[in-house]
Amino acid sequence: MDFSSVSVLCLGDVMLDRFLYGTMERISPEAPVPVLLLDSRREMPGGAGNVANNIISLGGRAILVGLVGQDEAGGVLRNALGNQARVVDATVCSPARPTICKTRFIAVHQQVVRADEESRAPLQPEEAEALCRAIDAQIDQVQAVVVSDYGKGVCSPTVLTHVFTMARARGIPVFVDPKTADYTQYRGATCITPNAKELALASGMPVGTEAQAELAARTVMAQADASAILATRSEKGMMLVRRDGPVLSVPARAREVFDVSGAGDTVIATMALGVGSGMSFEQAMRVANAAAGVVVGKLGTATADMQEVQHELEEQSGPDDIPHLLPLSAACAQAQRWQAQGLKVGFTNGCFDIIHPGHVGLLAEARAVCDRLVVALNTDASVSRLKGPTRPVNSLDARARVMAAIRYVDAVVSFDEDTPLETIRALMPDVLIKGADYKPEQVVGADIVQSNGGRLVLATLAAGHSTTATIGRIQGS
């Protein structure tokens, strides 16, 4: 998994999380309260800012839109955002309200008290207008949107309607972490991610069993006209309920839980990155479940990095959760993101029915002449038309799994036609690679790639290797 080319717009209530640490050695002579002698502090973005933290920890890019006051806490928050290379600070400065700041006083690993600074005034028209302008300025750069609603004012009906409309017009998925029990405010969302308590409150129904949770999810999904509800159910794992698909549940792996703070932010950040990168909802949910499993095993509000998530996936259920065959639309989006970063995208294709050293050599040479390599596989029907009714030996799914595991390959797609011409037109690679047994004029799509400024490379083929010969040896044995 690589989320480096995925940008997510994080809209919501941005906060400064401030932790003040000290020791308690005496009681105040002024009142019967302990005196906390401070010795250190820690400050970081919270609320929607913590979603952004999770996104960059997983390798993505976050664009943060929210309200920040003209005060000391706002300066600290913006300075913290400015120190994070993959976060774009698109917050709006409001003279009408303070920066939301949660200050936690901690002694001997125990929170003694929390002091909150915030305004409970409704969002002002000029604030809503400025937030909508910030959304408009950034939304064309992103592949997903996260709405992080903490009920502090930013997620007003005006702002929500605007971001849903803008995202829908561009085909961008919107994920909502809800606060209100009235899910009609989230009409237009793609996926809403309540925990069990929030789901019960919004639906007015029990959620203890899987059947009850599904019914409650379908109830609120209808209220919000959403495509999916992803319910997080603590030790019971997650449940994905979709309007047009089967229910899918994944269990939480048994572990020692240190702190569930921020686990919801991790889930929604991972879902946005996964779907934004081209994963299916099911694939993204499994990755999100693994990421949440990592953070609950840490103390305090924590994030997970990709190496930790990959390890957790392997511990849970192996590599099957990692996408091995992308839809063409997702592959095109990925190729465009790579090209936008200045990377050269290469393309080759074939049946690749039984992988042999000749294939590996071709792929190695192909990857050497580009920065990212996309491999297109003939579907089973296409292989049969080209090779005869006894082929392929291995199904498309099996061939794609093997191909995706080869280190030279960055993405795998399939095509059902006899040639990959339409796939090449859609992807428009920078480099087209075929074996040297072809002449330039015989290579399908070469003229298209070259007329677009790309080039054709004819790779050397290792002698003595072929799928047909391998099958012949097997049949003769």
Instruction: Give me the pLDDT at residue 451, please.
Output: 94
The correct answer on CATH 3.30.70.20 for the domain covering 7-23+32-172+252-321 is no
Q: List residues bridging with 349 in a β-sheet.
A: 376
Which CATH superfamily is 328-476 part of? Answer: HUPs (3.40.50.620)
- Which SS3 state, helix, strand or coil, does residue 9 take? strand
Instruction: Give me the pLDDT at residue 256, please.
Output: 43
Q: Does 50 appear as a known binding residue?
A: no
Q: For the chain, percent helix, then strand, then coil, each to nearest 5?
A: 40, 25, 35
Q: Does 394 appear as a known binding residue?
A: no
Instruction: Give me the pLDDT at residue 316, please.
Output: 59
Single-letter amino acid, residue 358? G
- Which SS3 state, helix, strand or coil, does residue 431 take? strand
CB 188 within 8 A of CB 225: yes
Q: Select which of 13, 17, 149, 265 is catalytic.
A: 265
CA distances from 461 to 363, 377, 435, 456 (A): 10, 18, 6, 16
Q: What is the pLDDT along the chain (477 residues), one digit of tens a residue?
A: 678 889 999 999 999 999 999 998 899 999 998 898 998 988 999 999 999 999 998 899 999 999 999 999 999 999 999 988 899 999 999 998 999 999 999 887 788 899 999 998 999 999 999 999 999 999 999 999 999 999 999 999 999 999 999 999 999 999 999 988 899 999 989 999 999 999 999 999 999 898 999 999 999 999 999 999 999 887 788 899 998 777 888 876 644 433 345 678 889 999 999 999 888 888 888 888 888 777 676 555 567 776 777 667 666 554 344 467 888 887 888 888 888 878 899 999 999 988 888 889 899 999 999 999 999 999 999 999 998 888 898 899 899 999 998 989 999 999 999 999 999 999 999 999 998 888 999 999 999 999 999 999 998 876 655 655 565 556 665
Q: Left, alpha or beta for 344 (phi > 0: left; psi -120 to 50: alpha)?
A: beta
Single-letter amino acid, residue 102? K
* Active site (annotated) includes residue 265: yes
Q: Is the dihedral of CA 415, 419, 423, 429 positive or negative?
A: positive
Task: Give ∠ CA 52-55-56 in degrees, rounded to 5.
Answer: 90
CB 449 within 8 A of CB 432: yes
CA distances from 194 to 129, 182, 213, 225, 422 (A): 28, 12, 11, 15, 41
Closest residue by Cα to residue 386 from 468, 469, 449, 472? 468
* CA–CA gap between residue 414 and residue 417 (Å, rounded): 9
Q: Does 196 appear as a known binding residue?
A: yes
Burial class (CB in 10 A: 0-12, 13-18, 19+), 476: exposed
DSSP state of 226: -
Q: Does 30 appear as a known binding residue?
A: no
Instruction: Give me the pLDDT at residue 471, please.
Output: 56
* CA–CA gap between residue 344 and residue 296 (Å, rounded): 39
43 phi and psi, to 5 degrees?
-135, 140
Instruction: Give me the pLDDT at residue 257, please.
Output: 39
Burial class (CB in 10 A: 0-12, 13-18, 19+), 322: middle
**Domain segments of the chain as ranges:** 7-23+32-172+252-321, 328-476
